C-alpha cells in the first residue's frame, strides 16, 4: 500500500490553519503544520494559507523566512498551493494599505480592491474553470466559498514555448477576478477550499493526486 502524500502547511502565524489541515487530511494526505526548513522543503506539497491583509501576511512570511522557503521550493519545481491571501501575495504588489505593499512577484500584476456594490465578497460563488484545468476536474460546476475584498483582476503573464500556458480560472463579483491559477508547480486559489464542503475536499484531492512523490 502506498503511503499517503505528505503535505506541509506553512506555519507563519496565519489564522484558520487548523481547518486547512483537517481538509487536507480528509482529502487523503498526511499533514504537518510547520515552519521547519526540512519539513517544508521535503514535503510532497506545501500549502500557504492566508488570512488578513496583503501587507500583514507578507511581513509575517518574511519574519519566518516563509517567502524564502516558498521560493526555494519553486526553484526546484516543488509543488506549492496558496489559499486566499496566500494566493494574493504571489503577485507583484498589493494596494490594500495606504502604501503599496510588495509581494513575492511570482506573477506580474497588482491585487486591487474589487469594484463591486457589496464588499467584502462573502459566500458561495461559481467559477469559470479553465478548459485545461486539472484542479477543477469533475467539479467544474460546483460553488466555492469566498471571503475577500481584494483580488487580481487581470492576468498578464507572458509564457514562451516550450513552457505551457497556465490554466487561469475566473469568477465574478462586481467584476471578473482571478479565482485560481495552475502554473507548473505553483497553484493558488482565491477562495477557501477548506470552507467549501465536499467540493473543496475534491479540489484538494485533485491537487494532492497531481503531486510527484518524493522518495521516502
Q: What is the per-residue pLDDT across 135-159, written as a single tens digit (0 to 9) for each?
A: 999 999 999 999 999 999 999 999 8
How many other C-beta atoms lie within 10 A of the C-beta of residue 154? 12
Helix or strand (DSSP H, E) at 82: strand 79-83
Instruction: Give the Å distances, CA to CA, from 167 to 37, 129, 150, 159.
Output: 30, 8, 21, 12
pLDDT score recorded for residue 16: 72
Written as nine digits, the cell of 64 is 519566518
- Domain locations in the chain? 6-209
Region at 200 (left for phi over 0; alpha for psi -120 to 50; beta for the rest): alpha
Name the residues annotated as catalytic.
84, 192, 194
Q: Residue written as cell 526540512?
A: 38
Q: What is the per-residue pLDDT across 31-50, written as a single tens digit (0 to 9) for each?
A: 999 999 999 999 999 999 99
Q: What is the per-residue pLDDT across 82-115, written as a single tens digit (0 to 9) for each?
A: 999 999 999 999 998 888 999 999 999 999 999 9
CATH value of 6-209 in 3.40.50.880, 3.40.109.10, 1.10.287.180, 3.60.21.10:
3.40.50.880
Segment 194-205 shows an average pLDDT of 98
Does the reported pTM lie above 0.75?
yes
- Of 13, 19, 25, nearest in space to 195 by CA: 19
Amino acid at each position: 500500500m502506498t503511503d499517503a502524500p505528505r503535505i506541509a502547511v506553512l506555519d507563519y502565524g496565519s489564522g484558520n490553519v487548523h481547518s486547512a489541515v483537517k481538509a487536507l487530511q480528509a482529502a487523503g494526505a498526511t499533514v504537518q503544520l510547520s515552519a521547519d526548513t526540512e519539513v517544508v522543503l521535503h514535503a510532497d506539497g506545501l500549502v500557504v494559507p492566508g488570512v488578513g491583509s496583503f501587507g500583514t501576511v507578507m511581513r509575517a512570511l518574511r519574519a519566518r523566512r516563509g517567502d524564502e522557503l516558498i521560493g526555494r521550493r519553486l526553484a526546484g519545481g516543488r509543488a506549492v498551493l496558496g489559499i486566499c491571501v496566500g494566493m494574493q501575495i504571489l503577485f507583484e504588489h498589493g494596494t490594500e494599505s495606504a502604501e503599496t505593499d510588495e509581494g513575492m512577484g511570482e506573477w506580474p500584476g497588482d491585487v486591487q480592491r474589487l469594484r463591486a456594490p457589496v464588499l467584502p465578497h462573502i459566500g458561495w460563488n461559481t467559477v469559470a474553470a479553465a478548459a485545461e484545468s486539472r484542479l477543477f476536474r469533475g467539479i467544474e460546476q460546483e460553488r466555492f466559498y469566498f471571503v475577500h475584498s481584494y483580488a487580481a483582476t487581470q492576468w498578464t503573464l507572458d509564457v514562451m514555448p516550450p513552457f505551457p500556458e497556465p490554466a487561469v480560472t475566473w469568477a465574478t463579483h462586481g467584476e471578473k477576478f482571478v479565482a485560481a491559477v495552475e502554473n507548473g508547480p505553483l497553484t493558488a486559489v482565491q477562495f477557501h477550499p477548506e470552507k467549501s464542503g465536499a467540493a473543496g475536499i475534491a479540489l484538494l484531492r485533485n491537487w494532492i493526486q497531481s503531486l510527484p512523490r518524493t522518495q521516502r
